[in-house]
Every structure is written in C-alpha cells, then in structure tokens.
Amino acid sequence: MALGHGDYGDVLALQRTLHAKRCAGELGDLLLSVEHNPVFTLGRSGMHDHILVAEDTLKQQGIQIHEIERGGDITYHGPGQLVVYPIFDLRGFGKDIHRFIWSLEEAIIQTLSELGIGSARNDGFPGVWVGARKIASIGVYVKNWVTYHGLALNVDVNQAHFRMIRPCGLSIETVSLNDIRDLHMSVAEVGAIVVRQLGALLEKDIVTMDRKEVI
C-alpha cells in the first residue's frame, strides 16, 4: 500500500492499527511504502545525545523527534527516502527473525544491483552499505510474531539532516542512490523495485491496495 508523503506520527498510528488487525487475523500480510516528512526516530537503545544540534535548529528545519519501540538507535527519515513497513506474520515464515531481517537487506541489495550499484552488509551492523557509507537502515519490532517498522533506503536525501545526528549511534557517513548514480529516479520508482524484490524474498504475491480497503 503506497501512502505517498506522510507525517511520521500518522503513519506510526496506522502501523499500530494494522499490526493489531494482523495479530487478530482480520487481514493478511501488508507492505506499506511512504516518504516521510523530516523526523528523527529513536529506537529502544536510542540516545538524545546522538542529536548533535540544538532543539531550536530542529524547529527551524521542521524536524520532529519520535521515541519508538523498534530496535536500534537514532536514524533520520525525510523527503527523498523510501521507507517500507512490512506488517508481516512470521509464523508463516518459520518464526525466523534473522531470515526476515536478512530478506529486508537483500531486497535493497538486489534493487541496487538492478540499478548498477554494488552494495553489501556490514557484519554486526544491520543495514546496507556502499563501501564505507551507509545507504539503507533496518529497524524492526516484533510482537506476537507480527512485525512492523522496517527499512529505509536513501534515494535522494538531504545529507545535511543526517549530519545533525550520529546515525545508529555511529560516526559514519551516509549516502543516497542518486549521489552514486545520477539516475533521476523518484522514490516511487525505486519503491516499486524494492517491493517487487521483497515480495519474492518473503514468498508473497504483491497486490496493490487502497488504504480504505484495510482500515
């Protein structure tokens, strides 16, 4: 389900609603794709010290902060970034969380390969990297064997916003797809490839649905 541009708080509330419905067996597995307004999210191990600018600067830039239940530290979501949230029941996937996270990473790696960009995992650090630069983040929450939160792939992100934080609590450089290859691709175009790859890896047929069909 493609949501277009969305406020983080609104989409988080939608995820929680759909997660509850999936746990109750009221709907099937879903993929939500969205491009967020600027926001920093702190996972369960997130630290406010990893925000490197003053609160006034965040207000001037229109950047919100949300503390959430996914794993990991701090990351940024904003325009030019593809975010995909699988609402996915792992009981039909061998209850294998590691395989699920591997699949999220693999969908990104295969998408980038299709676009002529080599990328790889970095042992011990979830996500996808192009050389020493991080191009995609993974952050998942699992309750009652149903997932939400998910992956974020930088397509054409404002890197100045990333420099306002210590991404994932690390001193690293981030990069966008269009920094590496000037493909002039939109977030929606890249998203279509990621969703196709992810559907194959999760062994699911992808069907486009309207929000009204599942709420």
Mean pLDDT over all residues of the chain? 91
Parallel, antiparallel, or unpaired: how do β-strands 39-42 and 120-122 relate? unpaired
Catalytic residue among 11, 152, 168, 175: 168
What CATH number corresponds to the domain at position 120? 3.30.930.10
CB-count burial class (<10 Å; 0-12, 13-18, 19+) for 199: middle
Please report the pLDDT score of residue 73 as a whole number. Answer: 87
Q: What is the pLDDT of residue 49?
A: 85
User: Domain residues for 80?
Assistant: 2-213
Quote the percentage of the chain above a pLDDT of 70. Answer: 95
pLDDT at 208: 58
Q: What is the pLDDT of residues 18-39, one digit of tens each?
A: 999 999 999 999 999 999 999 9
Q: Are 174 and 134 in contact (CB under 8 A)?
A: yes
Number of domains making up the chain: 1
* Catalytic residue list contains 23: no
Q: pTM, whole model, 2 decimals?
A: 0.93
Position 213 scores a pLDDT of 59
